[in-house]
C-alpha cells in the first residue's frame, strides 16, 4: 500500500496558465486565502482576466453577482460582466455573445440547479460557454448549483438518512459540460453518499463525484481530475459493477449495488477520468 | 452486469437450523413480522430454545431485558434468563455459566457499547459466550451496541457531516467475536459512511460493515455473510487499498483513501468474507 509522504510536485500539479473546468462543492472560502477563487482567477488569466459571472441559479442574482464581482475586482481582474439573465429570452441577447468573444473565464454561482438549467439549458449564451469551456478557450467554474449542472445528468435534489433507494434522489438533465460525470456537492457536509450511490446505480455508465464544501475538482482536457481545497472529492466508479437491482425494485426499496470502486481524494490528489485510475506521483513512496 | 431477477433460493439462503452470529443494525422490528428476532429464535432452536439475554449495554437493563424476554416468551422459547450483570464481579457468578451449559442462543441488547465492553470484556461469562458462538454451539445476536462490539476493534462513537478524518471516529477494543469485521450500525439512517471509512483507513486489514436499522448481517462459520431485513448492509473492503494518508495527516485533516471496494447488499444478498467476493446465485441472470 502506498501512502502520501509529501504534497505531490508533478507535471500534473495545477498550473496557473492552463484553462480548465472547476467543479466546486459550494461554500468556497471568499474571505481568507480564497484558494479556489484565486485559482479560478489565475487560470482565467490573472490581471488580464475578462470574467463573466452567471448568477442565474440564485433568486438574488444581483446580490450574488456583485459579491463575486467585488472579489474578482479586488484580485485585479481587467473586466467583469455579471450575466444577469432572468428569463430565457434574455439569454439570446447579443451583449453576452459579444462579451464572450474576448472572455477568459466564466463563473456560475450557487442557488438552485433546476432554476439554472431552466433558464439557460440550450440557450445561445450557454451553448457558447459550453463549447468554449470544452475547447479549453475559457476556464469555467461552477459552485454548488453551478457545480451540479456540469454533467449530462444532474442530481436535482434528494434526501439522506436512508439506505440507498431510487426515491432518495431526483436525477434530471444537466448542461453536459463534462458529460461523463454525475456530480454531487456539499457532499460529506450534507451526508450525500447514499444519494450519490442511488443516482449512480441508475446511471452506471457515468462516474459519480461528490465534492465537499470549499473543495474543487479541476478537470482538464486530457481527462485529468485534480483536487484542491479543504475537504475531499469522493469518486464513485461503477465501471466494474457486479450486479444491481435498480431496475426491478420499487422506488423506496433498498438498492443492491456491488463492486463499486470508491476513492476519496484530498488536496493534491489526481485521478484520470479516462483510465479511471488514481495517479500516484513518482515522489510518493510506498510501504 | 448481472442484475437480481428474483429472490435468491440457493443453498446459501439462511436455514433455520443453523447456528450463526447475527449482527443487527439496531431498531429491529419488535412488533409486526419481527423477521430478524424470529430468525434468531428459530436458529436458536425455536420452541426448544434456551435463551440468555444480555442487557448490560443499557442503563435500564431490567426494562430492556424484560422487553426481549416478553418477545421470546411470546414466540414460545422454552427457557429464558436475563443476565442482569451490572458490575464486573457479577460476571463471574456461577449461575451464568450453569445456564450457558445448556443455552442455545444469546441476545445482546442495545445501549452503549463502551458500557457493554467495560462490564463484560474478558469476563468468564463473555469468554464462554464468545467461545460457544465461535464454535457454532449457540446462535449469538447483538443489536446496535450489541452489534458494535462484534469485532476485535469497535467504533465507540463518532460524528457525521464531515469529510472522512481521524477525529470523526473513536475506535477502541471490542469483544472479538468476529475479529475480522469492523462494525457500524444505524448505518445509512445516521449517515455513518464517512465515519466507517475513517475507521477502516486506520484498520485496513479489517472489513468494514455498516448495517442499517431493522437489518441483519448473519455470519456463519464458513465465512458466509447473508443479509436479511428492511435496509442494507454496506461492505467496505480495503483489501486493494492503493494509498492512504492516514498515518501522516493531522487528526482533523481530510483523509485520502483510494481503491476501496464497496458493496451494498439488501435482503437476500450474500458475501464471502474469506474470498471477499459477492456470491451471485445461479438463479440470477445477467444482462
Nearest CA in chain A to B244: A3
Query: CB under 8 Å to B55, separation ≥6 — which residues?
Result: B61, B62, B64, B65, B68, B82, B83, B84, B109, B111
**pLDDT on residue B246:** 86
Helix (H), strand (E) counts: chain B: 7, 15
Instruction: Say if strands A224-229 and A270-272 run parallel, antiparallel, or are unpaired.
Output: antiparallel
pLDDT of residue A242: 84
Domain residues for the domain of B65 are: 21-269
Which residues in chain B have Cβ-Cβ distances shorter than 8 Å to A160? 191
A111 assigned to some structural domain: yes
Catalytic residue among B58, B198, B213, B226: B213
pLDDT band of residue B18 (cuts 50, 70, 90) is low
Is the CB of residue B217 less than 8 Å from the CB of residue B233? yes
Residue B189 within a domain:
yes
Euclidean distance between CA atoms A51 and A242, whole angstroms: 45
Report the pLDDT value the prediction gives residue A174, as an integer from 0 to 100. Answer: 98
Q: Is residue B149 part of a domain?
A: yes
Backbone φ and ψ of A69, nearest 5°: -60, -45
Q: How far is B102 from chain A (nearest CA, A)?
A: 39
pLDDT given at position B280: 79
Q: Which site among B209, B266, B270 would you substitute to test the A interface, given the most A Cβ atoms closer than 10 Å to its Cβ?
A: B266
Residue among A163, A204, A264 minimizing CB distance to B256: A264
Rounded distance between C-alpha atoms, residue B120 and residue A255, angstroms = 37
pTM of the model: 0.92
B270: closest CA among B45, B1, B4? B4
Asked whether residue A218 is domain-assigned, the answer is yes
Can you give the pLDDT at residue A280? 79
Is A274 annotated in the active site? Answer: no
Q: Does A83 reside within a domain?
A: yes
* Mean pLDDT for all residues in chain B: 92
Which of B228, B242, B265, B280 is the best mutation test for A, with the most CBs of A within 10 A? B242
Q: What is the Cα–Cα distance from A1 to A286, expressed in whole angstroms?
A: 6
Which CA distances in Å does B123 have to A21, A37, A227, B27, B119? 59, 58, 49, 27, 8
- The number of distinct structural domains making up chain A is 1
Ordered alpha helix ranges (H), chain B = 35-43, 61-75, 94-102, 113-120, 124-134, 145-148, 193-202
Q: Which residues of chain A neighbour B254 with C-beta distances below 8 Å?
A: 212, 230-232, 264, 266-267
User: Which candidate from B1, B243, B253 shows the least CB-CB separation from A2?
Assistant: B243
Q: Out of A163, A189, A244, whose CB is closest to B3? A: A244
**In tens digits, what is the pLDDT along chain A, a chain of 287 residues?**
444 333 444 444 444 446 799 999 999 999 999 999 999 999 999 999 999 999 999 999 999 999 999 999 999 999 999 999 999 999 999 999 999 999 999 999 999 999 999 999 999 999 999 999 999 999 999 999 999 999 999 999 999 999 999 999 999 999 999 999 999 999 999 999 999 999 999 999 999 999 999 999 999 988 999 999 999 999 999 999 987 898 889 999 999 999 999 999 999 999 999 999 999 764 443 33
Which chain B positions have a beta carbon within 8 Å of A286's beta carbon?
Answer: 243
Selected catalytic residue, list B20, B56, B58, B144: B144
Would you say residue B14 lies in a domain? no
Residue of B90, B72, B130 lying closest to B81 (CA atoms)? B72
For residues B206 and B176, is the Cβ–Cβ distance under 8 A?
A: no
Domain annotation covers residue A287: no
**Structural contact between residues A33 and A150, judged by C-beta atoms closer than 8 angstroms:** no
Specify the CATH number for the domain of residue A194: 3.40.50.880
Give domain status of residue A12, yes or no. Answer: no
- The neighbour count for residue B95, using CB atoms within 10 Å, is 11
Amino acid at each position: 500500500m502506498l501512502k502520501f509522504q509529501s504534497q505531490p510536485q508533478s507535471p500534473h500539479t495545477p498550473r496557473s496558465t492552463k484553462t480548465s473546468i472547476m467543479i466546486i462543492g459550494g461554500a468556497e472560502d471568499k474571505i481568507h486565502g480564497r484558494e479556489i477563487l484565486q485559482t479560478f482567477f489565475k487560470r482565467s488569466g490573472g490581471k488580464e482576466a475578462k470574467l463573466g459571472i452567471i448568477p442565474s441559479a440564485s433568486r438574488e442574482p444581483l446580490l450574488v453577482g456583485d459579491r463575486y464581482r467585488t472579489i474578482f475586482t479586488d484580485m485585479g481582474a481587467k473586466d467583469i460582466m455579471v450575466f444577469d439573465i432572468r428569463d430565457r429570452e434574455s439569454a439570446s441577447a447579443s451583449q453576452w455573445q459579444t462579451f464572450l468573444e474576448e472572455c477568459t473565464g466564466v463563473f456560475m454561482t450557487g442557488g438552485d440547479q433546476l432554476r439554472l438549467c431552466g433558464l439557460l439549458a440550450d440557450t445561445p449564451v450557454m451553448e457558447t460557454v459550453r463549447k468554449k469551456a470544452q475547447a479549453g478557450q475559457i476556464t469555467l467554474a461552477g459552485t454548488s448549483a453551478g457545480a451540479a449542472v456540469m454533467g449530462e445528468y444532474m442530481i436535482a435534489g434528494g434526501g439522506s438518512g436512508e439506505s440507498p433507494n431510487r426515491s432518495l434522489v431526483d436525477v434530471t438533465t444537466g448542461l453536459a459540460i463534462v458529460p461523463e460525470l454525475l456530480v454531487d456537492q456539499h457532499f460529506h457536509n450534507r451526508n450525500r453518499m447514499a444519494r450519490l450511490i442511488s443516482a449512480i446505480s441508475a446511471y452506471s455508465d457515468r462516474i459519480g463525484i461528490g465534492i465537499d464544501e470549499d473543495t474543487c475538482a479541476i478537470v482538464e482536457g486530457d481527462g485529468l481530475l485534480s483536487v484542491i481545497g479543504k475537504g475531499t472529492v469522493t469518486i464513485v466508479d461503477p465501471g466494474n459493477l457486479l450486479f444491481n437491482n435498480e431496475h426491478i425494485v420499487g422506488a423506496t426499496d433498498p438498492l443492491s449495488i456491488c463492486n463499486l470502486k470508491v476513492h476519496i481524494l484530498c488536496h493534491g490528489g489526481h485521478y484520470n477520468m479516462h483510465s479511471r485510475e488514481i495517479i500516484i506521483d513518482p515522489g510518493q513512496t510506498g510501504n
